[in-house]
Amino acid sequence: METFSVGVIYKHRFEPAKQEAHKLVKWLQGKGLNVFSEEMGPSGQKEEPYDNPELLPVNDLKWIIVLGGDGTLLGASRKYGRHGIPILGVNLGGLGFLTCIPIDKLYSSLDMILNNSLDIEERLMLETKVTRNNREIYKFQTLNDVVINKGPLARIIELDVLINNEFLTTFRSDGLIISTPTGSTGYNLSAGGPILYPTISNVILTPICPFTLTNRPIILPDTVVISVMMLKESEEKVSLTFDGQVGFDILEGDNILVYRSDSNIKLFKSPDQTYYEILRKKMKWGGATYSKDADK
């Protein structure tokens, strides 16, 4: 068997993930593979793009296994996704849209990967650039969404939105969600946005509780550049967050540019469930009434 290196990432301070990681490392080493592991720590509000040191040797890894929940995989995707290393998400958490491999299917899935029989799909990521006083102060990649959101007080915020430098509208709302198809089942869905198949090439713009009820979610091509600017200073903090995990406060006049990243993330597909089965199960849409034998 070919000798190569793989990475194992597991959820921070989560004992079941730590135990499974140790067991997995031994199994992989028993297959003659070089294994590097990393505990994925909690995301801090001031996490900087690419400044968080990469503990795994990305130039040597053939694939990465993530043990945890969707949050752990999102953290791993921000850190390593841009390198194009295929990631296998193993669910030890709750919902598990991204970590679609249950723990009891881990080793059978790994056997399929070793036999080159487990499919990989690519999903788009977003890149966000923030400029202040004509100076770039922030750049970040995300897999799920970019969210502009106000604090807990009742006042709304006003956001000018341009698409490819063409004025779209001024959203007066609690905030704005810019989502990938992968993130469409997250905050976007809670705010009334549509579900998109995760591999299509679109971006969703969804206002959060808009003052004007005719402001509805918009599906845009992934070729656009979305520009957002807060019109006037809010009496409370307005935050820009990435994947619901990291971010910082924005100020009046900050220009936020969101566009498709040059990097796609590669995820191993579930060998047992289609996306529609995962969607039906996770969304609890009820049992299927259609029988595959009905047409026979």
Enter the DSSP assignment of 44.
P
Instruction: List for the chain the helix, strand, coil content (%; round to 5).
Output: 20, 40, 40
CA 159, CA 229: separation in Å to the nearest integer? 6
CA 75, CA 292: separation in Å to the nearest integer? 39
Residues with a catalytic annotation lie at 70
Enter the DSSP assignment of 282.
H
CA 75, CA 132: separation in Å to the nearest integer? 26
Spell out a b/e string for 106-123, using b for 16 or more CB atoms within 10 Å of the CB, else e.
beebbeebeeeebeeeeb
Write down the residue that tokens 């993530």 correspond to.
Answer: 66
- Rg of the chain's alpha carbons, rounded to an integer? 20
